[in-house]
C-alpha cells in the first residue's frame, strides 16, 4: 500500500518532469523561463522536493520489506520454475528500481547541483542539457536508465492501481493499456531528448 501510494506520487512527478523537459524542443527561452518559474515558487519547490524525498525513502523501505518477506516465504526454491504470464517488467522491478535509484542520485548531482557537470550554469538549463548530451556515453547512460524507468512504470502503475483496489473488473486483468501508454509516453519523452541532442539537435 505504501509502495503504491508513494509510487503514484512519484509517477505524478515524472509526468510533470517529462512534459517540462520537452520544452527543450521549443527553444532556450521557453525551457529556461519554465525553470526560472519553478525556482521562483520558492517554498513550493522545496515542499515538492521534501514530499518526493519522503516518497523515495518509503518506497525503498517498502521494497526492502517485500524482498525480505519473499526470501523468507520460500526458503527452498524450485529445481525448475517457469514463468507463465509474468512480464519482464514485473520480474525486473527490483533490479530496475535499484538502477533507477542510483541513476537519480547521479542525475541530481549532474543537472540539479551541477557537481558532475563541467560547464554547469544554474540559470541556463538549456545549455546544460545540450552540452551534456553531446557526450555519447552520458546520452547512452540516460537512454539505458530511461528504459529501466519505462519498464518499472509499466508494471508499477498497473499494479499500484490494483494494490489500492481502484481498478474496474476486467475480462482480462493482465491487460494494461493505460499503464502501457503512460509508460511509453514517459519513456519516449525522456529518451528522445538525449537521442536528438546527440544526433545534432539543435542544428
**The only residue of 6, 55, 128, 159 in contact with other proteins, by rule CB under 8 A:** 159
Residue 82 or 200: the one with the smaller Cβ distance to other proteins is 82
Least gap, CB of 157 to other proteins (angstroms): 11
Binding status of residue 203 toward other proteins by CB under 8 A: no
Q: How many residues bind other proteins (CB under 8 A)?
A: 38
Binding status of residue 42 toward other proteins by CB under 8 A: no
| Grid cell locating 34 | 519554465
Binding status of residue 84 toward other proteins by CB under 8 A: yes
**The only residue of 103, 126, 154, 158 in contact with other proteins, by rule CB under 8 A:** 158
Binding status of residue 177 toward other proteins by CB under 8 A: no
195 close to 134: Cβ distance less than 8 angstroms = no
Cα–Cα distance measured from residue 98 to residue 59, given in angstroms and rounded to the nearest whole number: 11
**The only residue of 162, 181, 184, 199 in contact with other proteins, by rule CB under 8 A:** 162
**The only residue of 42, 43, 82, 177 in contact with other proteins, by rule CB under 8 A:** 82
**The only residue of 42, 43, 83, 118 in contact with other proteins, by rule CB under 8 A:** 83
9 close to 55: Cβ distance less than 8 angstroms = yes
Q: Which long-range contacts (CB under 8 A, 24 or more apart) does 58-65 make?
A: 58/2, 58/6, 59/2, 59/3, 59/6, 59/7, 59/10, 60/97, 60/101, 61/2, 62/2, 62/3, 62/6, 63/3, 63/94, 63/97
**The only residue of 42, 43, 74, 137 in contact with other proteins, by rule CB under 8 A:** 74
Least gap, CB of 165 to other proteins (angstroms): 3
Footprint on residues 117-156 left by other proteins (CB under 8 A)? 155
Q: Which residues bind other proteins (CB under 8 A)?
A: 1, 65-66, 69-70, 72-87, 90-91, 93, 155, 158-159, 161-167, 169-170, 173-174
Amino acid at each position: 500500500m505504501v509502495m503504491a501510494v508513494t509510487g503514484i506520487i512519484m509517477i505524478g512527478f515524472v509526468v510533470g518532469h517529462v512534459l517540462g523537459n520537452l520544452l527543450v524542443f521549443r527553444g532556450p527561452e521557453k525551457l529556461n523561463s519554465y525553470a526560472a518559474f519553478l525556482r521562483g515558487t520558492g517554498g513550493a519547490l522545496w515542499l515538492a522536493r521534501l514530499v518526493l524525498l519522503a516518497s523515495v525513502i518509503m518506497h525503498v523501505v517498502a521494497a526492502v520489506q517485500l524482498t525480505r518477506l519473499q526470501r523468507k516465504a520460500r526458503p527452498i526454491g524450485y529445481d525448475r520454475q517457469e514463468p507463465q504470464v509474468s512480464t519482464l517488467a514485473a520480474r525486473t522491478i527490483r533490479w530496475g528500481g535499484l538502477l533507477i535509484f542510483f541513476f537519480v542520485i547521479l542525475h541530481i548531482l549532474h543537472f540539479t547541483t551541477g557537481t558532475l557537470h563541467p560547464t554547469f550554469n544554474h540559470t541556463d538549463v538549456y545549455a546544460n542539457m545540450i552540452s551534456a548530451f553531446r557526450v555519447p556515453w552520458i546520452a547512452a547512460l540516460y537512454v539505458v536508465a530511461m528504459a529501466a524507468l519505462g519498464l518499472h512504470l509499466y508494471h508499477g502503475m498497473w499494479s499500484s492501481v490494483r494494490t489500492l483496489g481502484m481498478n474496474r473488473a476486467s475480462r482480462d486483468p493482465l491487460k494494461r493499456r493505460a499503464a502501457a501508454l503512460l509508460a511509453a509516453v514517459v519513456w519516449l519523452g525522456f529518451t528522445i531528448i538525449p537521442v536528438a541532442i546527440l544526433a545534432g539537435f539543435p542544428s
